[in-house]
Structure 1
Amino acid sequence: MNTDPACPTVDVHAHLLLPEVEALVADAPALAEARALDARRNGPQAIAVNGPMIASRIGRLTDVDTRIAAMNSQGVDVQVVSPSPSHYHYWADRQTATKVFETANEATAAHCAGAPERLRGLGLVPLQHPDLCADALEHALGRGLLGVEISSHAPGRELSDAAYEPLWERAEQTGAVIFLHPFGCTLDARLDQWYLSNTVGQPVENAVALSHLIFSGVLDRHPELKIVAAHGGGYLPTYIGRSDHAWSTRSDAGASCAHLPSSYLRRIWFDSLVHDPHVLRELVRVAGPDRVLLGSDFPFDMGREDPVAALHSARLPESQFHAVRGANAAALLRLT
């Protein structure tokens, strides 16, 4: 574990809006259906709040100079910038999906090129078309991006699906980062009030997706895969004992992964965005102080305006504080 107090402060969870992508899909007939599903999942009150919230943050989401000024005020040296998950568009046909990931990768790379010492980027892959994903990853890496951002599932397909094996294999071979960031929750209208779609739905989706990767044996087959889980991995890390009990007790639960589920937490990286200092300390304990990375969800309202202060509030030992603040990310991302 690198505990150098002189290491840069690295925020691995920051977002970018890409008007180029939305222009591509604006006339697609399936877009209206996807937006209607999103509206049902979130509910009218959340939709009414989301629009003004995003509008007030457009500068930080699109303009490099505005982003850098905000980073300076936060004391953040490097951001890992990923497209807003609203750009996944997993409804898209093959032709449209190819245009989406190519445009997203190129636009993200161009944004980061505006401040190359401060910004690193992640691209997109079309999870709804598994056979395109490895090529999409290569496209992202070819534009100088560190890897790609994915959701917790695609329609009708979980991350444990064998069709994703070429993606995991290529990511492992190249050392690419896979940033697991859910968008939408399949509990649907049960969470359509009080912003439960996000506050409950996102942690649920994180936990389900990580469980699929663990219990299916993906992490056994690809032990060097670099998975970074947003939102501290959701509910899984702090309730992993139940998974261990099932694996130890039931033949069906333990059929496909070789080790206790909790042991895989030390093969995954997690951002620090858990909104509670006690939960953050527990995440560091169960995953290891070398597996937690600073994350803010910049600049959305469910993020932290001052991620370093949030990290301070956990009162970690100094060596662990500096590891989470930036040294772990610098090692993972091979920053110099």
Structure 2
Amino acid sequence: MTETPTIDVHAHVLLPQVEEAVAGRSGLAAARELDARRNGPDALAVSAAMIRERIPRLTDVTARLAAMDAAGVDVQLVSPSPSHYHYWAEPDLARTVWRLANAGTAAHCAQAPGRLYGLGLVPLQHPDLAAEALDDALGHGLRGVEISSHAPGRELSDPAYEPFWARAEETEAIVFLHPFGCTLDERLDRWYLSNTVGQPTENAVALSHLIFSGVLDRHPGLKIIAAHGGGYLPTHIGRSDHAWRARSDARGCAHPPGTYLRRLHFDSLVHDPHVLRELVRVAGADRVLLGSDFPFDMGTEDPLGALRAAGLPAPDHDAVRGGNAAALLRLDRGEQP
């Protein structure tokens, strides 16, 4: 390619071997029951049909590449389906999950070198194992890992994660923050509010924990990508800045919260050109990356069309289209998986 490739940083792979490993294990039934309560029966029925229809694009590299070509996407950063987190798993099973996920994602991407790059998983429910799992992912040639917005009983501000953040910073690993499930539970169990309201809420809460707790002060080199444009936080960051200035109990970070948006990265998947322009304004054009949530129905099959609709200046458009991701993935250094 003579010009910067078009890079989609938000795409998923489904790994049947992970689900086979957890089948019948203690804790799975309770996790599924919680998921059912949070989403409601209508959402579960629609989602099941949607996933069945999209299995080829989630598992078959040929189908994935054909869809990428149709959308004008040259490169995808592929992460496991968030349904593979399984943060209920005890340590031994958690190790099996991340090893299968890391190896499976690497094998999937290896079928299309130069076009597919991957992310692995870490067990947020076991902070003492997170750095080990990150190293396992990097050892498979993956570019980093995907995490949710929290684990049961733990926020991302928990000091127990310090070794993980330190290792991620040291290795320049990408950490893709992608929520799965919302703790508002049954309040969102109709009309797919569990996703439409729940996901951006979880993004905003998780990023606020990272900012206000000082994680980004202690680890300024972290390479975090927030899915779904960072949720509600970027467009409502003024309220956080006001709290930081007005209240002593909101001074956990060294600088106004809004300044940390320019230390983070965000995908472009906000479903509104006005919101995308605002995200670029507050975070900077060098901090926004093209994202589609391939191939799920809450994503977009035309991420380039969504980007064009924002009407960004040409240099900003090209940066979001692929320039920023190429630098983050170190493609500008000619590095390969």
Name the counterpart of 2:81: 84
Correspondence for 1:261 among 247, 253, 257: 257
Letter in 2 for 1:215: F
2:221 counterpart SS class: coil
Letter in 1 for 2:255: H
1:5, CA displacement in angstroms? 9.1
Q: How do 1:31-42 and structure 2 match up within 5 A?
A: 31-42=28-39
2:8 counterpart SS class: strand
Name the counterpart of 1:160: 157
Name the counterpart of 1:320: 316
Deviations for 1:279-304, whole angstroms, at most 9, x for unmatched residues? 00000000000000000000000000
Matched, 1:61 2:61: no
2:27 counterpart SS class: helix
Matched, 1:244 2:241: yes
2:248 counterpart SS class: coil
Name the counterpart of 1:329: 325
Q: How do 1:64-213 and structure 2 match up within 5 A?
A: 64-213=61-210
1:315 counterpart SS class: coil
CA distance in 1, matches of 2:59, 2:45: 22
Name the counterpart of 1:293: 289
Q: Please list every run of 5 or more consecutive structure 1 residues that lacks an aligned counterpart in the other structure.
A: none
Q: How do 1:267-282 and structure 2 match up within 5 A?
A: 267-282=263-278
Letter in 1 for 2:312: L
Question: In angstroms, what is the RMSD of aligned CA positions?
Answer: 0.9
Counterpart contact for 1:206–1:233, Cα < 8 Å = yes
Counterpart contact for 1:5–1:322, Cα < 8 Å = no
Letter in 1 for 2:238: G
CA distance in 1, matches of 2:241, 2:49: 43
Deviations for 1:294-317, whole angstroms, at most 9, x for unmatched residues? 000000000000000000000000
Deviations for 1:235-291, whole angstroms, at most 9, x for unmatched residues? 00000000000000100001x210000000000000000000000000000000000
CA distance in 2, matches of 1:55, 1:87: 16
Structure with larger RCO (C-alpha < 8 A, sep 6+): 1
Name the counterpart of 1:16: 13
CA distance in 2, matches of 1:249, 1:243: 10
Correspondence for 1:311 among 307, 314, 317: 307
Q: Which moved more, 1:4-13 or 1:156-165?
A: 4-13
Matched, 1:224 2:246: no
1:83, CA displacement in angstroms? 0.2
Provide the TM-score with structure 1 as the length reference: 0.98
CA distance in 1, matches of 2:222, 2:303: 26
Letter in 2 for 1:282: E
2:124 counterpart SS class: coil
1:195, CA displacement in angstroms? 0.1
CA distance in 1, matches of 2:110, 2:45: 34
1:133, CA displacement in angstroms? 0.1
CA distance in 2, matches of 1:71, 1:48: 27
1:166 counterpart SS class: helix
2:10 counterpart SS class: strand
Q: Please list every run of 5 or more consecutive structure 2 residues that lacks an aligned counterpart in the other structure.
A: none
1:27, CA displacement in angstroms? 1.4
> Cα–Cα, structure 1 residues 52 and 276, in superposed 2: closer, same or farther, change >3 Å?
same
Matched, 1:302 2:298: yes
1:117 counterpart SS class: coil
CA distance in 2, matches of 1:8, 1:166: 34
Deviations for 1:199-219, whole angstroms, at most 9, x for unmatched residues? 000000000000000000000
Deviations for 1:18-73, whole angstroms, at most 9, x for unmatched residues? 00000000010210110000000000000010111000000000000100010000
Letter in 2 for 1:80: L
What percent identity do the matched residue pairs reach? 74
CA distance in 1, matches of 2:77, 2:159: 29
When the two structures are aligned, how many residues end up with a matched partner?
A: 332
